[in-house]
Amino acid sequence: MRPEEDIRQMIDRWNRKTSGQMDERVLGDVLHAMDESQGQVPSGPPFRRRSIMKNPITKLAVAAAVIAAVVLGLFEFISTDAGSGVVWAEVAQKVEASPGVIYRGRGNRSDSKYSMNYLSATKNRQDTYESGELTVSHYLDFETMIASSIFHTQKHYWRDAPLGEQNAQGHDEMTDPKWLVQSILSCEHKTLGEKTIEGILCEGLETSDPAVLGKELPVPASDINIRMQLWVSAETSYPVLCEGNVTAAFEGQTHTSEWVMDQFQWDARLEPGLFEPNVPTDYKEI
Amino acid sequence: MLEDRLLVLRCRRGNREAMCRIYQKYKDLLLTVATGLLHEPAEAEDVVHDVFVAFAQSADQFQLTGSLKGYLATCVRNLALDRIRVNARRAEGPKPVISSPAAQDPERDAVATEELAQLQSAMGRLPYEQREVIVMHLKAGLRFREIARLQGVSISTSHARYRYGIDKLRSLLNGEVQK
C-alpha cells in the first residue's frame, strides 16, 4: 500500500480554484446581501444563483492589519535627545506640508506582494502588485465621496461607488504616512542614531509605546508588544523608511503583524489624471 | 488570526472591501472542501455561494469566537450535509474536478492531475463520515475534537474514522500512479 505520508501529500496538493465567473456571481450576491443587511439598499428579489448583479464597492488601502486600525491625530511632541542632527519638529511640519506623497507598502521586507500608494490631500490611489504584476487598483476621492476599483487579474471593475461614512473615516485610519509620522513623534520614543539606507544618511526613532496604535483597538487585545521605527533623511528631513511589528494576545493566542513603508517621494505634485480610473475596454463591470 | 478578526469587525461595520478580502482568502479552500464532500462541482459552487451570502447577511451581527476559516469550513460542511441528505446518494460515480497543481513540466503536470483525479475518485468511494473527517482535518484544518463535536461522536471515533479512511485510500490507490 502507499505510505500514509504519500496520501497526505496528495490531499495537500488537491485544490480546486474558483472560476472568474463564479467569483463574479458570488461576490455580486454577497455584496448585495451585505448592502441589504446594512440597510443601504431596499430589499430586492431573492438571490439568483449564477446571475451577475451590478454592485458598487468601495476600497480602502490596507497595508497592515493592525496599523489600519490606528486612530491618529495626536500632535503632542516629546522632545528627542539633544544633539540630534534632525530637528524632529521640522520633520512633522514638512510631512504635513507635503501636498502629495508616494510610497511602497509591504507586509515585510521579503514580501513579493507590495502596493504603490499615491496620496494627495483629497484623493488616494493604491496599485497592488504580486510577483511583479499589477493585480488591483483602487481609487478613493474624498471630494466627490466616490470610489472605484479595477481588478486586473479578473478583468473586473466597479466605479463611482458612493463612499460610506465608514470609508470616509477610514481616510484618517489608513496607512497614511503623514498620520503615522505624527503618531510616532507624539508617543514616547528613543533615538536610534544614524544609519545609511539606500545610500541616504538617516536618523532614526523607535517607539514601543502601544499608544502609537491609538486610543482604541479594534479587538480587545492584551500584552501588546510593538516596535515601530522611523528613519528620516538627515539632509531633507523627510521620512525614508517606516517599519514595525506588533504582537498581541487575543483569546489565548498570540498574533503578529509586520509592515514596511519605503520608497517615499515627498512633496510630490500628483497629476489629477493619476487618480482617474482608466478601465481597459475588455474589462467587465460588476 | 488577528487579520481575520479585523476583517470581521470591518464587515460588521459594512466595509465591503473586508468582505471581498475574506472571500478572496477562503474561496478556493472552501470550494475544495465542498467538492471533497459533495463530489458534484456545481453543487459545491452553490454551497460556497450560499455560505458566503449567509455570512454577508449576518455580517452586521456576526461574532467570531474561533477561527474564521474553521467557522466557514463548518458552514460548508453543514450545508453540504444538508444537500447530501436531501439528494440522497447518487447512483452515478463521482465526477472528478481537479485543478492542476502548479507544476511547470507538462508531463509531470499531467501525471499529477491524473493522480489527483484518482484521489478524488477514491475519496468518493469512502463512507461519508470517513471522507468528512479527512477533508475537514486535512483541508479545513479542524482538530479531531472539533470534528467529533460536529459529527456527534467521541474523539476516538472521529480519530478511528480518519484512520480507516486513510487506510482505505492507501488501499484504493495502491498500484496507481506514483509520484
Contact: A57, B17; criterion CB under 8 Å: yes
**Rounded Cα gap, residues A277 and A127, in angstroms:** 11
Contacts of B140 in chain A (CB under 8 A): none
- Predicted TM-score (pTM) of the model is 0.50
Q: B92-130 as b/e, with b when 16 or more CB fall inside 10 Å?
A: eebebbbbebeeeeeeeeeebbebbbbbbbbbbebeebb
pLDDT along chain A (286 residues), means of 10: 81 87 88 76 35 25 32 29 61 87 86 88 89 88 82 82 55 64 83 91 90 65 85 92 85 78 93 92 84
Contact: B53, A30; criterion CB under 8 Å: yes
State the cell numbers at B137: 482535518
Q: Which residue from B49, B116, B174 is facing A49, i.e. has the nearest CB?
A: B49
User: What does the pLDDT read at residue B10?
Assistant: 79
Contacts of B15 in chain A (CB under 8 A): 58, 60, 166-167, 170
User: What does the pLDDT read at residue B112?
Assistant: 56
Q: Which residue from A3, A11, A256 is facing B138, i.e. has the nearest CB?
A: A11
Asked which of A53-62, A252-261, B76-85, B136-145 is least confident by mean pLDDT, the reply is A53-62
Contact: B58, A30; criterion CB under 8 Å: no
Return the half-sphere exposure (C-beta side, CA atoms, 13 A cut-off) of residue B64: 26
DSSP string, B148-163: HHHHTS-HHHHHHHHH
Angle in degrees, 0-180, between the axes of helices B2-12 and B68-87, rounded to the nearest 10: 70
pLDDT in tens, B148-163: 988 899 999 999 999 9
Contacts of B115 in chain A (CB under 8 A): 10
User: What does the pLDDT read at residue B129?
Assistant: 92
User: What does the pLDDT read at residue B111?
Assistant: 54
CA-based nearest residue in chain B for residue A163: B15
Q: Are B29 and B47 in contact (CB under 8 A)?
A: no
**Rounded Cα gap, residues B179 and A73, in angstroms:** 58
State the cell numbers at B47: 454551497
DSSP 8-class letter at A8: H
Question: Looking at CA atoms only, how far is residue A10 from chain B in angstroms?
Answer: 7
Question: Looking at CA atoms only, how far is residue B89 from chain A in angstroms?
Answer: 23
Closest by alpha carbon to A172, among A285, A69, A283?
A69
Terminal-to-terminal C-alpha distance of chain B: 34
Q: Residue A143 burial (CB < 10 Å; 0-12/13-18/19+)?
A: exposed
Question: Looking at CA atoms only, how far is residue B28 from chain A in angstroms?
Answer: 5
Phi (first) and psi of residue A197, to 5 degrees: -120, 120
Instruction: Give the 3-state secondary structure of residue A6.
Output: helix
Contact: B28, A7; criterion CB under 8 Å: no
Contact: A166, B14; criterion CB under 8 Å: yes
Q: Which residue from A8, A16, A34 is facing B28, i.e. has the nearest CB?
A: A16
Mean pLDDT of B78-104: 60
Q: Which residues contact B136 (CB under 8 A, 6 or more apart)?
A: B33, B73, B77, B142, B146, B147, B150
Q: Which residue from A2, A29, A221 is facing B173, i.e. has the nearest CB?
A: A2
pLDDT exceeds cutoff 70 at B96: no
**Rounded Cα gap, residues A101 and A279, in angstroms:** 24
CB atoms within 10 A of CB A139: 24
Question: Looking at CA atoms only, how far is residue B52 from chain A in angstroms?
Answer: 6
DSSP 8-class letter at B102: S
Q: Which residue has the cell 444563483?
A: A49
User: What does the pLDDT read at residue A60?
Assistant: 26
Contacts of A168 in chain B (CB under 8 A): none
Interface A-B, measured as beta-carbon pairs within 8 A, has a size of: 153
pLDDT exceeds cutoff 50 at B67: yes
Q: Are B116 and B97 in contact (CB under 8 A)?
A: no
User: What does the pLDDT read at residue A220?
Assistant: 66
Q: How far is CA A72 from each of CA A67, A183, A211, rounded to the nearest angstrom?
A: 10, 6, 10
DSSP string, A184-200: HHHS--EEEEEEEETTE
Contacts of A2 in chain B (CB under 8 A): 170, 173-174, 176, 178
Instruction: Give the 3-state secondary structure of residue A227.
Output: strand
Amino acid at A211: A
Q: Where are the alpha helices (DSSP H) in B58-136?
A: 68-87, 106-124, 128-134
User: What does the pLDDT read at residue B74?
Assistant: 92
Q: Which residue has the cell 471515533?
A: B157
Contact: A31, B19; criterion CB under 8 Å: yes
pLDDT exceeds cutoff 50 at B172: yes
Contact: A38, B14; criterion CB under 8 Å: yes
User: What does the pLDDT read at residue B104?
Assistant: 40
**Do the strands A284-285 and A156-162 form a parallel or antiparallel pair, or are they unpaired?**
parallel
Contacts of A250 in chain B (CB under 8 A): 2, 5
DSSP string, A164-223: PHHHHHHHHHS--HHHHHHHHHHS--EEEEEEEETTEEEEEEEE--GGGG-S--SS--EE
State the cell numbers at A173: 485610519
State the cell numbers at A31: 455584496
**Rounded Cα gap, residues A271 and A265, in angstroms:** 14
